[in-house]
Amino acid sequence: MTRASGRPLRLLVVDDEQQILELLALTLELQGFTVTPARSGPDALASLAGGPLPDLIVMDVLMAPWDGFETVRRLHDRLGNHLPPVVFLSGLNRPPTLPAGVTCEYLVKPFRPSELVACLRRLARPQD
């Protein structure tokens, strides 16, 4: 998927399970996204150093050492209002509250890849 400028949307995809991370990256790259993978919250923070900001973030919830919500809080502390929208992925039911001040969606596993792509397109639309 591309922005109005014609540039592919950049995604930061964070999951601590290598096979899931590879599957998500492959699926999303086949849909035209540019994917930067990260295997943990600290890796996600490190990926922001020196590179362009992602347009959207795909974040697993259950990870170590930081869960997805803690990772997003730390990303928000670093980026403030520049934090891109986040799609949380979890096998747990939707939490009672999502992080304040963050544009986000929550997909419950298992989900179809088309659901994730539709969610990303929906979140990207206001930015174009």
pLDDT in tens, 96-121: 676 778 899 999 988 999 999 999 99
pLDDT at 21 over 90: yes
What pLDDT, in 10s, does the model give residues 30-81? 999 999 999 999 999 999 987 899 999 999 999 999 999 999 999 999 999 8
Hey, is 110 helix, strand or coil?
coil
For residues 48 and 38, is the Cβ–Cβ distance under 8 A?
no
Between CA 69 and CA 98 the distance in angstroms is 8
Domain extent listing, the chain: 10-127
CATH class of 10-127: alpha beta
Its pTM surpasses 0.75: yes
> Residue 39: its pLDDT value, please?
97
pLDDT at 128 over 70: no
Hey, is 114 helix, strand or coil?
helix
